[in-house]
A and B are shown apart, each in its own frame.
Chain A
Amino acid sequence: MSAPGALGHFGEFGGRFVPEALMPACLELESAFIDAWGDPEFTAQYRTVLREFAGRPTPVTPLRRLSAQLGIELFAKREDLAHTGSHKINNVIGQTLLTKRMGKQRVIAETGAGQHGVATATACAQMGLECTVFMGEIDTERQALNVFRMELLGATVVPVTSGSRTLKDAVNEAMREWVTCVEDTHYCLGSVMGPHPFPWMVREMQSIIGHEALQQMDDLGASIPDFVVACVGGGSNAAGIFSGFANTSARLVGVEAAGGSAVGKGSPGVLHGMRSLLMQDEFGQIEEAYSISAGLDYPGIGPEHAHLADIGRAEYYAIGDDDVIGALEVLSLSEGIIPALETAHAVAWILKEAGREIPLGSRVLLNLSGRGDKDVAQVREILRGQQ
């Protein structure tokens, strides 16, 4: 996937819709990123930290039992094995290194489920940066253990009580905070969303997933898959794995939560600094997303995905809450991997479409974006309720 235009546009999406007070910070970040990403010393340092600290490269695992059951050839890129349990660490390592390079001492971040917050707190602890995480009050209750993890790692967690008190409001609050402290603070956005350069920068920092996977598939003698499938909240793990396969014949599939389906139910709009597809009412008020997984509970999608959908290079489908728990159980029982609820959406789409949208015999690469440890208490509650 290529760089956006000069103003951060991917086709008709993207851009930079921020208050004037934040404009200089976005411009500064853009040039700092371009400079760092073109500096072999910086990228070498980024890869070294990912190797020594975050456990990269993560493997590609052939899912043999499930493949046999489904009549397809299924592989998983194991981001669940990265430090802190998801792909989020890749982006955070890149952005915290950039924070230091820019001479800033403090990082703020938003988080939904807490995965990006935990990853940010982790990287800040490792690099000696001060860290504040904004989290919707409802999410602090749903994910109390992640709040405690962040605190153990030395971060301050600020519960956000405005609006719907979930991820979208945490982003608003982080932006509001950033205005007051841009001089010494970097806003470490957690997905391929927000104003330019974030969607591009975060995709680049996640593209390591796709580049590793392309090579690893080749090493397995499997070469180019027919399908590359990833779940989509803002779209960072999907953008990361798509990066390795956009120039191949693989069909790229993003799976949204039905209650947060910006491509399926959204229309073009402007929120959080970007023009993208958003769930909104007839007067342009943003609608609240509802999903069993806090990480997909977002009414928008990254602008590059809106563009990929627009030009038909990637396809987006929605999976409802009902199919998610079953998919989590299937992967756990047949492969010994408990996926995150977010990831289980992608698994559910594959289970549903094998033999239909996915022809039998197809080679499919799943981005296994995170492990399910954070979700087991919630899953237990749901399964108990079903008995």
Chain B
Amino acid sequence: MTSLEKHLRELRASGRKALVPYFVAGLTPDWITHVEAAVHAGADAVEIGIPFSDPMMDGVVIQEAALRALDAGTNLDSIASDLTALSVSVPLIAMTYFNIFHHYGVERAAGKLATSGITGAIVPDLPLEEGREWFDACARHDVATVLLVAPSTPPERVSAICEACRGFCYATARMAVTGRSTDAGEGAHVVERIRAASDIPVYIGIGITTPAQAHDACTTSDGVIVGSLLVKAILDGASASDVEQMVHQFRQAID
């Protein structure tokens, strides 16, 4: 079992719901302090978004953030070097599009994540059928390949996805890109399907924008991922202490 999955299973066994905020690496020069603030406020893991020029699954907020980070010269190497300044005790999970790793070379990219202290990776445009090479490279470097299940995923596919999935399974709450909707979504339904196929920890993400939604999501899931809300705040100039406060509200809501 990957280190990440072992850790997240222990977290679940301890009765704690996982709070996983998402940040776009390199969005501001002090982005590392946002990560630290979130951990300070009770985040259990952090998603590190590696910016890509064509983020097909992201809404306007993360698109804008990715472009800003790229304009500032962010890349896999600069992120790795920024991360050497980060001292947090929670797992880090990379999130990006496949071309970034494909172009870097999958073996080299998986190794780079591992040496940067990243123990999981989410690649939303890499489905099961195309992922073998990447999954194997990650396995060699103890990087957990987190896979997504959507409301449209039929049950047979859910089983196949869960078999290849490591760390946790990402239940997408709605048929939409990140940062769009405010309704409750179909997260509970997706979680149910994953539970029927596997006992891997399941977190709900996509469109969780209020502490109340996070609370509701955690009645079925083992945790939540909060992305666009924080990224929007940072785009609008939020400081590390603003971030800490926002994350703290989510912590309180799910405890």
By a beta-carbon cutoff of 8 Å, the part of chain A in contact with chain B is 7, 15-21, 23-25, 162-163, 168-169, 172, 175-176, 179-182, 267-273, 275, 278, 280, 283-286
A-B contact count (CB 8 A): 115
The complex places the Cα of A24 from the Cα of B158 at a distance, in Å, of 12
The distance from the CB of A119 to the nearest CB of chain B, in whole angstroms, is 24
Bound complex: CA A283 to CA B172 (Å)? 28
Which residues does chain A contribute within 8 Å of B130, judged by CB atoms? 7, 15-17, 275
Q: Which of B10-18, B51-59, B87-95, B247-255 is near enough to bind chain A?
A: B51-59
Residue of B53, B59, B152 touching A285 (CB-CB under 8 A):
B53
Other-chain residue from A169, A180, A273 in contact with B176 (beta carbon distance below 8 A): A180
In the assembled complex, which residues on chain A have CB atoms less than 8 Å from the CB atom of B104? 283-284
26 sample A-B contacts, Cβ–Cβ < 8 Å, listed by A number: A15-B130, A16-B129, A17-B98, A18-B127, A20-B149, A20-B161, A21-B150, A21-B152, A23-B153, A24-B153, A24-B154, A24-B157, A163-B54, A163-B67, A168-B54, A172-B54, A179-B175, A180-B180, A270-B99, A270-B125, A275-B130, A283-B75, A283-B103, A284-B100, A284-B104, A285-B52
A19 with B103, Cβ < 8 A, contacts A172-B54, A176-B177, A179-B177 known: no
Q: Distance (Å) between the CB of A221 and the closest chain B CB?
A: 48
Closest partner residue, chain A, to B180 (CB atom):
A180
Task: Tell me which residues across on chain B come within 8 A of A278, comparing CB atoms.
Answer: 99
Chain A residues lying within 8 Å of B127, measured Cβ to Cβ, are 16-20, 23
Alpha-carbon gap, A16 to B98, bound state (A): 12
Q: Is B60 located at the chain interface by the 8 A CB criterion?
A: yes
Contact among B56, B77, B172, B176 for A20, CB-based, below 8 A: B172
B148 within 8 A of A: yes
A25 CA to B175 CA in the complex, in Å? 12
**Smallest beta-carbon distance A282→chain B, Å:** 8
**Contact with B126, one of A17, A162, A280 (Cβ below 8 angstroms):** A17
User: In the complex, how many angstroms separate the beta carbon of B10 from the nearest chain A beta carbon?
Assistant: 27
From B52, B76, B150, B153, name the one whose CB has the most chain A CB atoms within 10 angstroms: B150
B70 proximal to A (CB < 8 A): yes
Contact between A284 and B153, CB atoms less than 8 A apart: no
Is B111 interfacial (CB-CB < 8 Å)?
Answer: no
Which of the listed residues B152, B154, B157 has the most CB atoms from chain A within 10 Å of its own CB? B152
